[in-house]
Amino acid sequence: MQKKQRVLTPQNMTRIAILGAIASVLFMWPEITIIPPFYKLDLSTLPTMLGAFSMGIAPGVLIVAIKDLIGLTHSGTAGVGELADFIMTCAMLIPAVLVYRRNKTRKGALISLAVGSGAMIVVSALVNAFLLFPLLTGEVPTLEFIITATVPFNVLKAVVISAITYFVYKPLSPVLHGRR
């Protein structure tokens, strides 16, 4: 029987706090406004993915929670944007980490990021259509809007985050795992 590792060791809590702080800064700046203007491409998901790949799902979820709780202090959407970010980021990181756990190779990382990206794109379409837009506007968006705006934005975000994660995870791996 394999011994279970503790997630919240002092070392992991430190890494979670640092990655949460970095993600919070990236959540505020820099961002690229996409059309429609409430879609903003930022790199705040990157520290979350790096933390999740190195420490697991629970630390990854904690990192995104820290980022979004800090984001609430300057929210322009009464928390709806932060809720959206939390859901979409978790939709990407959970399946990606589950797949990556089984095959920790470059090919495994690529497959896991593709699976996580696909999950995020599908979840974003559904959640935007049936939860987020109704909360923000009181209306359900058209299928055309979801297909022509929401899905392409999330494809772009998934590709950007996945590409950067893929190329920086291995070089940063010793630091993320606490090795010098």
CA dihedral (136, 63, 32, 124) positive or negative = negative
pLDDT for res 6: 79
Query: What percentage of residues in the chain have a pLDDT greater than 90?
Result: 77
Distance of CA 141 to the CA centre of its chain: 24
Q: What is the mean pLDDT of the chain?
A: 92
pLDDT category of residue 4 using cuts at 50, 70 and 90:
low
Q: What is the 3-state secondary structure (H, E, C) of 107-156?
A: HHHHHHHHHHHHHHHHHHHHHHHHHHHHHHHCCCCCHHHHHHHHHHHHHH
Q: State yes or no: pLDDT of 1 exceeds 90.
A: no
Q: State yes or no: pLDDT of 70 exceeds 70.
A: yes
pTM: 0.91
- Helix (H) / strand (E) element for 101: namely helix 80-102
Instruction: Check residues 6 and 164 and name the one with the higher pLDDT.
Output: 164
CA distance 122 to 101: 22
**Segment 45-69, tens digit of pLDDT:** 999 999 999 999 999 999 999 999 9
| Burial of residue 95, with CB atoms counted within 10 A of its CB: 0-12 exposed, 13-18 middle, 19 or more buried | buried
Report the amino acid identity of residue 13. M
Q: In 10 A of CB 20, how many CB atoms?
A: 23
Contacts of residue 146, Cβ cutoff 8 Å, sequence gap at least 6: 125, 128, 129
- Least confident interval from 4-13, 31-40, 90-99, 134-143: 31-40
pLDDT for res 2: 53
CA dihedral (82, 84, 90, 93) positive or negative = negative
**Segment 16-51, tens digit of pLDDT:** 999 999 999 999 876 787 777 778 888 999 999 999
CA distance 136 to 132: 6
Mean pLDDT of 6-18: 91
